[in-house]
Amino acid sequence: MIRQGRCAGRNHRHGFTLVEMIIASMLATLLGMLLAGACVTFGRPALEVDSRARITQEAILAIQSLACDLGGFLADSPGRTGNLGQYQFVDPPWDVSQGNPPGTVLLLNFQGASSGDLIVISYQLQGNLLVRSNSSTGVATTIAKYVTGFTVEQDPGNANNVKITLTIAYRYFTTTYTLIGVKPS
């Protein structure tokens, strides 16, 4: 014998219907598409800013090092910056004919503490690193990373100057800097 009260209570459903599952899947897909669009809209510019900032940072490091050396402020052995009275450029102050191919190494020639002492500072690429080497101390220092091009030549506008071209690339961005080195007077 079946009681009528219990049979009617078992008709209560558990779980989702097929229509509810389809609607929930569509809403989840729409939410995923909106989130992906937001990531593309806000994430890509952030990566671009990071890439450009990194290129600028590396360029500042390279240019500052070159500016100090071209200005005659050669660092002495304890690591402090020298002055124009300590270290003078020798004639010729730079050699741009070195490297393979020629023009890929910059040599700066300084008079050391004694008259026969010659200090040569070199800048050259090693892979994607711009490296500064000091002949008197034997120390090689990485000046900048992500450098894809470094060339030096006599300035076509003035034979007393040197033209330095530095190309830095990071991710999808590339920037080229051109510097004119002038012998300090």
Q: End-to-end CA distance of the chain, in Å?
A: 117
Entry pTM:
0.73
- Give the residue among 88, 127, 128, 123 at the shortest CA–CA distance from 106: 123
d(CA 130, CA 144): 5
74 burial level (CB within 10 Å; 0-12, 13-18, 19+): buried
pLDDT digit string (tens) for the chain, length 185 residues: 555 555 555 556 677 788 889 999 999 999 999 998 888 787 778 888 889 999 999 999 999 999 888 887 776 555 555 655 667 788 888 899 888 888 999 999 888 777 778 889 999 999 999 999 988 888 899 999 999 999 999 988 888 899 999 999 999 899 999 999 987 76
Residue closest to 174 by CA, chosen among 124, 128, 122: 128
Contact 145, 58 (CB under 8 A): yes
